[in-house]
Amino acid sequence: MELKSQKRIAAQILKCSKKKVVFDVNSLNEIKEAITKADIRNLLKKRVIRFNTNKKEKSNIKSRIRKEQKKKNRQKGFGSRKGRKTARLGRKRRWINRIRVQRRLLKSLRNNNLVEKKKYQDLYMKAKGGFFRSRRHLMTYIEENKLLLKKEK
């Protein structure tokens, strides 16, 4: 006996899954005759069609464990990443982080009198223009061009 449409309509009325709808085995003929939503509502009132609360929903244990691990900053390697680099950290944010590090370094060099004022300004403007890829690149540039002054005692 096919009762697919009745099950679908009942699930729609109960606002639940078809799996949760249960028919009374003794009244299957009565259920088969019900075609409209009104008929199904009447059967729901008579308790011929019921919402089964006994079925336990499967808790997705693996996803819960995974979520807990991600809270601890794990399982975030290259294999589980999707999208470009900019999807995780925006271009602007990356730039801000990079330039702040470079400027901090330049400032400390200037305050410790390791770089002349003119050279500092030149390096600062180069950093602003995006010349240096990183703090290390800035340091190697300074060392290669011998811009560091020897600290006086």
Is 78 within a domain?
no
Specify the DSSP element, H or E, that contains 106.
helix 91-111
**Full domain range(s) for residue 38:** 4-51
- Angle, helix 91-111 to helix 117-128, in steps of 10 degrees: 180
Query: What is d(CA 22, CA 36) in angstroms, rounded to the nearest whole number?
Result: 18
Residue 128's nearest CA partner among 91, 146, 102 is 102
Q: Which pLDDT score, from 0 to 100, does residue 61 have?
A: 86
Is 69 within a domain?
no
Confidence of residue 89 (pLDDT cuts 50, 70, 90): confident
**Sheet strands (E) in 8-76:** 21-23, 49-51
The predicted model gives 23-39 an average pLDDT of 92
Tens of pLDDT, residue by residue over 113-130, are 999 999 999 999 999 999
Q: Can you give the CATH number for the domain in which 124 is found?
A: 1.10.1200.60
Is 12 within a domain?
yes
Identify whether the C-beta of residue 124 lies closer than 8 Å to the C-beta of residue 106: yes
Is 133 within a domain?
yes
- Same domain as 92, residue 46: no
Is 83 within a domain?
no
Q: Which residues pair with 22 in a beta bridge?
A: 50
Identify whether the C-beta of residue 3 lies closer than 8 Å to the C-beta of residue 31: yes
Q: Is the pTM of this model over 0.85?
A: no
Domain count within the chain: 2
Q: Which pLDDT score, from 0 to 100, does residue 152 have?
A: 58
Q: Which pLDDT score, from 0 to 100, does residue 15 have?
A: 92
